[in-house]
Amino acid sequence: MIYTTLVAIRHVRATIASWRSRRTDWYLIVQEYPADALIQWLVDMLRMPTAQTLRDVADAASFGIGAAVSGGTLRTDPHYRDLLRKEFNVITTENALKMGPLRPEPGVYDFSDADAIVNFGTAYDMDIRGHTLVWHNQQPDWFRGWERTPDQVESFLREHVYTVAGRYRGRIDEWDVVNEAVLDDGSLRETVWYDAIGEEYLDAAFSWADEVSDADLYYNDYGAEEVNDKSDGIYRLIGRLLDRDVPVDGIGFQMHALHSTPDLASVAENVRRFQKLGLEVAFTEVDVAYQAAQKPDDHRAAQAEFYADLTALCVREGIDTMVTWGVRDTDSWVPGWFPDLTDDPLLFDGGSDPKPAYYAVYEALSGER
């Protein structure tokens, strides 16, 4: 009798939301209650609604919880697809809409990965973020801006924005129009776009995107989550753009919490000053990793605590979107770029199982923390 009850309770733990989210130890209940009481408890529990996913609690909280998506993995891995549709209500194109992957040769656009992601998001009623129209990295190998005149560079960029943003009008909800245009000291990065057009390349990119898209238009950057030289420079830049009536709707703080985690009090102060400009704010590329040689004793617990605190900050400060940069730890870019860091920066492990960070976000959104 006791053994049968244990098996049943373990099944309930995996399928009932209140049981799963609290992560109660079933063996303690068995020690405290006789079998007949446990059976009655089991019957009562089975009458409750089935388990809620992270997406369920995010939907209930009017919150966007998302992940960056690989088009190739989406098409070939059914477990990846299933996890995405069940657990997330926002998706971002990880690489599919970056200029280099999108334009393999002159005059050719390869929209296969991007279309797969957008079609998937549409089919499952997800908010879709396009990343990114203008960036200094991952440009086509064949594009040599230094061999072109300023007018030719401007014409090239205009055609690109018109073609890509225009294709997804009414389907992509937010665009990262310009990505990482500011250096750590707050000055503008010298890129092929800046060299040819000057600061006004940002004006042009946002204006062109606005002409052909009905999406909200974002500036996106890393290392500017706190009040610091870089975020000061971005704040001044966005202020100038708005003064020139450039259609900027929001700012994305990437929140790659790698090596160390930011001071969330400073993050909140920074968020509020950008909101006062009339901008939407989102955390767009979240992951959390530590120096492997100096990681906390229980780094997954520390990671979960940071995810919980960041989610609570979102709720408190009126931020309605948080996107992780990948779905599972094995999908993350971090191990390939930073071999000295812990290799598990996301909400799900490589086996698609939720980690403590998942439950921390779940509980922060459901009001259980």
Question: For the segment 20-77, what is each residue's pLDDT rounded down to a tens digit?
Answer: 333 333 333 444 446 665 566 565 555 444 579 999 999 999 999 999 999 999 999 9
- Cβ neighbour number for residue 3 with a 10 Å cutoff: 9
Check 87, 94, 174, 285 and give the catalytic one.
285
Backbone angles phi, psi at 93, to 5 degrees: -75, 115
Alpha-carbon gap, residue 1 to 5, rounded angstroms: 6
What pTM value is reported for the model?
0.87
Burial of 282 (0-12, 13-18, 19+ CB in 10 A): buried
Check 87, 94, 174, 180 and give the catalytic one.
180
- Dihedral sign for Cα atoms in the order 336, 282, 114, 122: positive
Alpha-carbon gap, residue 322 to 307, rounded angstroms: 10
Q: Is residue 32 annotated as a catalytic residue, yes or no?
A: no
User: Is 206 within 8 Å of 247 (Cβ atoms)?
Assistant: yes
Question: For the segment 251-292, what is each residue's pLDDT rounded down to a tens digit?
Answer: 999 999 999 999 999 999 999 999 999 999 999 999 999 999
Q: Is residue 180 annotated as a catalytic residue, yes or no?
A: yes
DSSP 367: T
User: Is 167 within 8 Å of 205 (Cβ atoms)?
Assistant: no
Bridge-based pairing state of the strands 127-134 and 216-221: unpaired
Instruction: Give the Cα-Cα-Cα angle 258, 263, 266 (nearest 5 degrees).
Output: 130
User: Is 80 within 8 Å of 74 (Cβ atoms)?
Assistant: yes
DSSP 211: H
Half-sphere exposure for 9 (CA within 13 Å, toward CB):
21
**pLDDT digits (tens), the chain, 369 positions:** 333 333 333 334 334 443 333 333 333 344 444 666 556 656 555 544 457 999 999 999 999 999 999 999 999 999 999 999 999 999 999 999 999 999 999 999 999 999 999 999 999 999 999 999 999 999 999 998 889 999 999 999 999 999 999 999 999 999 999 999 999 999 999 999 999 999 999 999 999 999 999 999 999 999 999 999 999 999 999 999 999 999 999 999 999 999 999 999 999 999 999 999 999 999 999 999 999 999 999 999 999 999 999 999 999 999 999 999 999 999 999 999 999 999 999 999 999 999 999 999 999 999 876
Backbone angles phi, psi at 84, to 5 degrees: -60, -50
Burial of 228 (0-12, 13-18, 19+ CB in 10 A): middle
